[in-house]
Amino acid sequence: MKKSLLLTAAVLTLGASSAMAQHYDPFFSLNGEAGSKGATAILSAGDVGSIGDAGDIGLMGKTGINEKLEVGVNIGLGVLNDGKDSFDSALIGAKYSIGETRAISVNLLAPVGGADDPGLSVGIMAVHELAGMPLNEHLQVSFLKGFAANGANIDLFLEPVKELSDKLILYIDVPISANTDNFGDSLNIDIAPNIDYVLSEKAVLNVGIGLNIYNGIDRNSDIGVVAALVAAL
């Protein structure tokens, strides 16, 4: 069922360099079938108590051009965030399948809205099995000032998946990020447990929290929160 919906868990990272903020798809999912379409509406905040004045809204759509290529766009809205523009960002990207369990990703942050500079990320996505569970993996390197003021961002996303029932799927997201200019001080590790609740064959509700485990400069003690509605069209 999950494969047909073209989705897996949403990711919420509290660090300065967010792997999923650098990808048009806020969920880990490999390419779907040709002609497949998906959409996501996501609400997140780095602090559960600040959704009303520091929340972020993302609207995403994607489609399979063919069995190898998927393209999509992710629009960031700052209507609930006092520090961001109402139309804050536009990220466009693509995944190209290089096997049943791997894909190459490319994403471009457009210099529009609240983004003054472009950003570029390239990466590889893969799924392996660990202790009888699927393990989603995504390694990204991000360039240009839109993503990294200096050097390049390196982001590794790890996500073990456990199906609890025919309605509930658990994910333990572990985003790890750093910048090449000062790897030690910029190293950041979060953990973001979240769960899918299957609403129908074509819709899933995802909710979760995010905790900062390690930060090379100053650990963030806030508890982040995320909620998303994902649908196959």
Q: What is the pTM of this model?
A: 0.89
Q: Would you state the pLDDT for residue 178?
A: 93
Q: Would you state the pLDDT for residue 19?
A: 52
Instruction: Find out whether 103 and 95 touch, Cβ atoms under 8 Å.
Output: yes
Q: Would you state the pLDDT for residue 5?
A: 39
Q: Which of 6, 7, 36, 5 is nearest to 194 (CA)?
A: 7
We report the CATH number of the domain holding residue 125 as 2.40.160.40
Burial of 117 (0-12, 13-18, 19+ CB in 10 A): exposed
Burial of 193 (0-12, 13-18, 19+ CB in 10 A): middle
Q: How many domains does the structure of the chain reveal?
A: 1
Cα–Cα dist 182/214, whole Å:
15
Bridge partners of residue 77, in order along the sequence: 57, 87
> Per residue, what are the HEC states of 31-43?
CCCCCCEEEEEEE
Q: Would you state the pLDDT for residue 10?
A: 47
pLDDT in tens, 103-160: 999 999 999 998 899 999 999 999 999 888 999 999 999 999 999 989 999 999 999 9
Q: DSSP labels for 133-161?
A: EEEEEEEEEEESTTT-SSS-EEEEEEEEE
Q: Would you state the pLDDT for residue 233?
A: 86
Q: Would you state the pLDDT for residue 20?
A: 57
Q: What residues in the chain have per-residue pLDDT under 50? A: 1-17
Which residues fall within 8 angstroms of residue 131, CB to CB, at 6 or more apart?
Answer: none
Instruction: Find out whether 99 and 118 touch, Cβ atoms under 8 Å.
Output: no
Locate 35 and state its tokens.
């002609």
Domain carrying residue 42 = 2-232
45-75 per-residue burial string, b: 16 or more CB within 10 A, e: under 16? bbbeebbeebbbbbebbbbbeeeeebbbbbb
Cα–Cα dist 139/149, whole Å:
20
Q: Would you state the pLDDT for residue 18?
A: 52
Q: DSSP labels for 90-114?
A: EEEEEEEEEETTEEEEEEEE-S-TT
Cα–Cα dist 108/89, whole Å:
11
